[in-house]
Amino acid sequence: MRKRIYLCLAHMSGNEMKFIQEAFDSNWVAPLGPNVNGFEEELRAFVGASEVVALASGTSAVHLALLDCGVGPGDEVLVQSFTFCASSHPVTYLGAAPVFVDSEKDTWNMDPALLEEAIKDRIVKTGRKPKAIIPVALYGMPYRIDKIMEVADKYGIPIIEDAAEGFGSRFDGKVLGTFGRFGVLSFNGNKMITTSGGGALICPGKATRDRIMWLATQAREAYPYYQHEAIGYNYRLSNVCAGIGRGQMTVIEDHLAHHRHVQKLYEELLADVEGISVHKAPDARFDSNFWLCVMTLDEGLKIAGQENAYAEKITTAVGGAAGVVHVSGGVHTDCEPNQNVEAMRVFLDAAGIEARPLWKPMHKQPVYKDSPAYLNGVSEGLFKVGMCLPAGPLVTDDDVRYIVEKIKEAIVR
């Protein structure tokens, strides 16, 4: 029997155990120690930034970046709508409101023209400028950061790059996360590299780095006892987890090469399959890590079993994620992938292949139903036709050929 093929499983392929063993042997098991320092140094060298703070998650990195941009109750933050919820949820932690901006069709990321429209309109409607802009490197694809920076600079609004999925992606040769005031990285279990759970914030300089570090360690004052004059957070990365990260950093280049190779294979093998398109970089400046490879299905493409798509109620979270999920009342929402996409997902699942819908745009999420949104239909349109395919370090060439074979098999001509 063929082993089940997942989107992007972690692969302990470096010398992770050596670093973990060192942490245990030295008893540096708290969120400080040689692995945390070493991991930060390796991250700095890799992204080409002078300051990086290792944190407990990518979500906490977004949270601290927002805090340092002065975001507070009543403020607004412009967020790419087409994203995972970790880009926008921290805005609400601060009592601020996300304002969602739709995508442009080449990169699937924040539309710079729509961004400017949104800024102008928020100024008219609220009399104030939004406090930050969060573009997202969806599935690793770089956003049009040159154009986004032009708009941001024109209005003097800081950019927090959500490069959680874009670790190692580059725009015009420069690593994502190093353009804006802040860059967010994630080392969750399914990202380009993992620390089991973790993240990092790329900071613009020593003073900012020190403030972020202070906030991430409960904001303590210099006294012989615990003195607090501000609210802080327990957001540092553990020295044990940082050991995993150091091991992973020894194979990051292999991971990058692998994801790009898998993307190339999909592009080749699906090139002449009518009704299916692979999401590609618009031009050579957009150097994606292809964290996940993505295809779209023409609406008219007929997939086996599509008349029964959504017939059954789902009782688990996408990807069988850990934790507790609410079992919803129904099988349909007002915005869902087309029936042929759901049928393809079920068909591949039965063949032992994990495939997933794209992120459902935040402006279509009930929890954000009252948030302002500046829309052009792109993210909603893509959500209905798109599908993520396996691309992780454990996915072999043979797996990709098998996946493509099954995709073709699912199509009813």
Ligand X SMILES: *Cc1c(COP(=O)(O)O)cnc(C)c1O
Q: Which of residues 118-147 bind ligand X (CB under 6 A)?
A: 136
What is the Cα–Cα distance from 19 to 74, expressed in whole angstroms? Answer: 44
- 238: contact with ligand X by CB under 6 A: no
Least Å from the CB of residue 14 to ligand X: 20
Whether the Cβ atoms of residue 245 and residue 251 lie closer than 8 Å to each other: no
The residue (of 99 and 303) whose beta carbon lies closer to ligand X is 99
User: Taking CB under 6 A as the rule, does residue 58 contact ligand X?
Assistant: yes
- Antiparallel, parallel or unpaired: β 373-374 and 97-101: parallel
Q: Which is nearer to ligand X, 8 or 270 (CB)?
A: 8
- What are the backbone dihedrals phi and psi of residue 43, each rounded to the nearest 5 degrees, phi first? -65, -45
Residue 199 in the binding site for ligand X (CB under 6 A)? yes
Could you say whether residue 88 binds ligand X (CB under 6 A)? no
Cα–Cα distance for residue pair 95/72, rounded to 1 Å: 6
Q: Does 339 bind ligand X (CB under 6 A)?
A: no
Q: Is 57 in the site for ligand X (CB under 6 A)?
A: yes
Q: Which is nearer to ligand X, 130 or 135 (CB)?
A: 135
- Alpha-carbon distance of 285 to 145, in angstroms, equals 11
Binding-residue total with ligand X (CB under 6 A): 14
Helix, strand and coil content of the chain, in percent to the nearest 5, comes to 40, 15, 45
Our CB check for ligand X shows the closer of 167 and 286 to be 167
Find the part of the chain contacting ligand X (CB under 6 A) among 27-35, 81-89, 251-259, 391-399: 81-89
Q: In what order do the strands lie in the sheet with 97-101?
A: 132-134, 76-80, 97-101, 373-374
Least distance in Å: CB of 297 to ligand X? 23
Q: Is 295 helix (H, G, I), strand (E, B) or coil?
A: strand
Nearer to ligand X by Cβ, of 188 and 379: the residue is 188
Asked if residue 83 binds ligand X (CB under 6 A), the reply is: yes
Segment near ligand X (CB under 6 A); pick from 46-54, 56-64, 109-117, 250-258: 56-64
Among 82, 84, 171, 235, contact with ligand X (rule: CB under 6 A): 84
Interface region with ligand X, contact rule CB under 6 A, candidates 41-49, 52-60, 248-256, 307-315: 52-60
Residue 194: CB partners within 8 Å, gap ≥ 6?
10, 187, 188, 244, 245, 248
52 is an interface residue for ligand X by CB under 6 A: no
* The pairing of beta strand 293-297 with beta strand 174-175: unpaired
**Segment 155 to 194, residues that bind ligand X, using CB under 6 A:** 162, 164-165, 186, 188
Q: With 0-12 CB in 10 A as exposed, 13-18 as middle and 19+ as buried, what is 190?
A: middle
Q: Which stretch binds ligand X (CB under 6 A): 55-63, 172-180, 247-255, 266-274?
A: 55-63
Angle at 176 (CA atoms; ends 189, 104), nearest 5 degrees: 95
Q: Which stretch binds ligand X (CB under 6 A): 82-90, 326-334, 338-346, 349-357?
A: 82-90
Beta carbon of residue 162, minimum distance to ligand X (angstroms, whole number): 5
Sign of the Cα pseudo-torsion (87, 93, 94, 100, in order): positive
334 secondary structure, DSSP code: S
Rank residues 289 and 340 by Cβ distance to ligand X and give the closer one: 289
Q: Which is nearer to ligand X, 114 or 138 (CB)?
A: 138
Q: H/E element holding 191? A: none
The residues binding ligand X (CB under 6 A) are: 57-59, 83-84, 86-87, 136, 162, 164-165, 186, 188, 199
